[in-house]
Amino acid sequence: MIEPIAQALDWVGIVVFATTGALAASRKQMDVVGFALLATATGIGGGTLRDIMMGLLPVFWITKPVYLVLCVGVACAMFFLAHIPQSRLRLLLWLDAVGLALFAVTGAEKALDAGAGPIVAIAMGVVTATFGGIIRDVLAGETPVILSREIYVTAAMLAALVFTVLSAMGTARPGAMMAGFAAGLTLRAAALHWGWSLPRYKPRPPREPR
Amino acid sequence: MIEPIAQALDWVGIVVFATTGALAASRKQMDVVGFALLATATGIGGGTLRDIMMGLLPVFWITKPVYLVLCVGVACAMFFLAHIPQSRLRLLLWLDAVGLALFAVTGAEKALDAGAGPIVAIAMGVVTATFGGIIRDVLAGETPVILSREIYVTAAMLAALVFTVLSAMGTARPGAMMAGFAAGLTLRAAALHWGWSLPRYKPRPPREPR
Amino acid sequence: MIEPIAQALDWVGIVVFATTGALAASRKQMDVVGFALLATATGIGGGTLRDIMMGLLPVFWITKPVYLVLCVGVACAMFFLAHIPQSRLRLLLWLDAVGLALFAVTGAEKALDAGAGPIVAIAMGVVTATFGGIIRDVLAGETPVILSREIYVTAAMLAALVFTVLSAMGTARPGAMMAGFAAGLTLRAAALHWGWSLPRYKPRPPREPR
């Protein structure tokens, strides 16, 4: 019963992130092949890096190329439909929040499955959730999302942390996944709604003349 | 008879891309070590990513370090000769088109050899052909080539597609490689000559007030 | 006796580079999670890429997650202490030089250990020493260090070269490591102190009208 749930969550996450990649392509007014490249890199980038670092090779979309087809399909659809969600930017940010919380949990879950300990599982959740967006921003020549947004990486970390701790305490996988997902999504949603951010580093005057 | 041909095509592609990396270094007025780094990253970057994602490790240039020597040699030569092709930018763009079509075909061929299906083979052709240039642009701090150029990724995709489809239909490898190479090069050449580009995404006015 | 020395050098290198990552985060006034991400990516990025390309998977910090804890610890400490080294930028550059020379030697050593030949070992030393900084600069949206600094990559190459040549000539590992480290650090230190740089590419007028 776990497999189908994790699988379904993965699909939703990939579609959501592929959509954000296609929207980045629309902001740059790329052609349809540019849409396909950015959507695919964003949708599968985080999971690809996770698989590479864990040594789970070949990476997941090579054994299941349907993921590629899915990302390209999303890109083609968005090429004609991007003007709709663009007028609903708020909706898009919420979908992105869903993808972030989803990938943080499924990323951590795959790491645990592969035998990793809790620290590595949390790190893999964060990598899976954030790296697709980082690749998207580098390819599109935009400011990396990790620099500009309030409470973003932190929400991914919270989702992976809650899932991993609950799993370690013996909670059944589906329950731990739902709890982690809910925690990460709630934090990111609150940050979006109320503009929450963590305190930032503030330079102080040097203690002595240079 | 296939091996030597694929091998020779690979060498030509690496030399061509290493040359474009060295030319990027010359635009940034780097020193000779910067030339070597950019030439090497551009020449072997796409194939390295392909090997990593396919799980063909260690990557190809670790078992055959002569590829590294070749890229560094190209870099040293270009450090003294870059002023010549710079005055022949047109020639360089054509060489780059040759490299793009070559790597798309050899990248797809290595994926098929490793047991991949047609979709993955096409994706690997595109990755091999385009990623060296992406790495070059990120390292040199330039706008990624995939954003600025007309019909570039598309030509790589066509080359890989033609090769893969012909191979699947039973055409002998050398013939399929030549046909894919010719198709990709022709499309890119036409795009260079007549300024062809695919239609780009054009934002439409939002359907409703935000 | 070699293992503990190589191990200790590795720890020092990771702490030094994690510190430079945290300082980049402080320049961008990120929050503490941003500090952790940049410090970790900078501290372990070079070694991660080396392990991936060599096929030494899963990468080193997955089997020894204490490296992650170390980087996050450095990030948290720097979040409160970054104003101190900021007033001692000179000191920081020297620490960075130490890390560069260390990683060039330990990176080449791991490659030799894994059975690589001398050319690949030198390349791996350079990759390990420089790639963490490249990742840091890309994530922080700064000009890649390899573009802006005088004699930087070259010092890494010298350290790896000296170590590798001495090892090939039969020198005991600890001696070869110390010699390589000293050579790389001295060159970089001299470049910092006297502003040394290699001659840069200077465009010449074209030989013929374009």
Q: What is the ipTM of this complex?
A: 0.86
Per-residue pLDDT reduced to its tens digit, B14-70 = 999 999 899 888 888 888 988 999 999 999 999 999 999 999 999 999 999 999 999
- Confidence (pLDDT) at C124: 96
Q: Is B52 on the interface with A (CB under 8 A)?
A: yes
- Worst-scoring range by mean pLDDT, A139-143, B118-122, C28-32? A139-143
Residue in B50, B62, B93 to test binding to C, most C beta-carbons within 10 Å: B62
Complete DSSP assignment for chain C: -HHHHHHHHHHHHHHHHHHHHHHHHHHTT-BHHHHHHHHHHHHHHHHHHHHHHHT--S-HHHH-THHHHHHHHHHHHHHHHTHHHHTTHHHHHHHHHHHHHHHHHHHHHHHHHTT--HHHHHHHHHHHHHHHHHHHHHHHT---HHHH-SSSHHHHHHHHHHHHHHHHTT--HHHHHHHHHHHHHHHHHHHHHH---PPBP-----SS--
Per-residue pLDDT reduced to its tens digit, B108-154 = 999 999 999 999 999 999 999 999 888 888 888 777 777 765 688 89
Please give the average per-residue pLDDT across C16-28, as a whole number. 89
CB pair distance less than 8 Å for B34 and C147: yes
Using a CB-CB cut-off of 8 Å, the residues of chain B touching A28 are 147
**Cβ under 8 Å to B: C residues 30-49:** none
Residue in C62, C91, C142 to test binding to A, most A beta-carbons within 10 Å: C62
A136-169: burial string, b at 16+ Cβ within 10 Å, e else: bbbbbbeebbbbebbbbbbbbbbbbbbbbebbee
Query: Does the structure show a pLDDT above 90 at C92?
Result: no
Helix (H) or strand (E) holding B9: helix B2-27
- Confidence (pLDDT) at A210: 45
Please give the average per-residue pLDDT across B91-106, as a whole number. 85
Per-residue pLDDT reduced to its tens digit, C167-205 = 999 999 889 999 999 999 999 999 988 888 888 887 765
CA–CA separation, B99 and B105 (whole Å):
10
Query: Does the structure show a pLDDT above 70 at B89?
Result: no
- What's CA C66's distance to the chain center, in Å? 19
pTM of the model: 0.90
Place of tokens 């293992």: C3
Per-residue pLDDT reduced to its tens digit, B155-191 = 999 999 999 999 999 999 889 999 999 999 999 999 9
Burial class (CB in 10 A: 0-12, 13-18, 19+), B155: buried
Complete DSSP assignment for B171-193: --HHHHHHHHHHHHHHHHHHHHH
Burial class (CB in 10 A: 0-12, 13-18, 19+), B193: exposed
Closest CA to A140 of B106, B112, B201, C114: B201
CA–CA separation, A117 and C61 (whole Å):
11
Query: Does the structure show a pLDDT above 90 at A184?
Result: yes
CB pair distance less than 8 Å for C34 and A116: no
Using a CB-CB cut-off of 8 Å, the residues of chain A touching B199 are 31-32
- Confidence (pLDDT) at B29: 84
How near does any CA of chain C get to the CA of A123, in Å? 8
- Confidence (pLDDT) at A92: 66
CA–CA separation, A64 and A70 (whole Å):
11
CB pair distance less than 8 Å for C89 and A210: yes
Per-residue pLDDT reduced to its tens digit, A27-77 = 888 889 889 999 999 999 999 999 999 999 999 999 999 999 999 999 999
Residue in C19, C31, C44, C91 to test binding to A, most A beta-carbons within 10 Å: C31
- Confidence (pLDDT) at C210: 45
Query: Does the structure show a pLDDT above 60 at C56?
Result: yes
Percent of chain A with pLDDT over 90: 55
Of C55, C201, C206, the CB nearest to B25: C201
Please give the average per-residue pLDDT across A122-138, as a whole number. 91
- Confidence (pLDDT) at A195: 84
Query: How big is the CA angle at A67 (ends A92 and B139), to the nearest 5 degrees?
Result: 75
Cβ proximity of B39 and B22 under 8 Å: yes
Phi and psi for A114 in degrees, rounded to 5? Answer: -85, 5
Residue of B nearest to A31 (CA): B200
CA–CA separation, A114 and A119 (whole Å):
13
Who has greater pLDDT, C42 or B145?
A: C42
Residue of C nearest to A112 (CA): C62
Query: How big is the CA angle at A93 (ends A91 and A98), to the nearest 5 degrees?
Result: 95
CA–CA separation, B101 and B151 (whole Å):
12
Percent of chain A with pLDDT over 70: 90
Query: Does the structure show a pLDDT above 70 at A191?
Result: yes
- Confidence (pLDDT) at C154: 92
Closest CA to B33 of B84, B80, B79: B79
Cβ proximity of C136 and C42 under 8 Å: yes
- Confidence (pLDDT) at C87: 53
Distances (CA, A) of A111 to A98, B100, B113, B173, C174: 20, 36, 29, 39, 36
- Confidence (pLDDT) at A28: 83
Cβ proximity of B40 and B69 under 8 Å: no
Q: Is A139 on the interface with B (CB under 8 A)?
A: yes
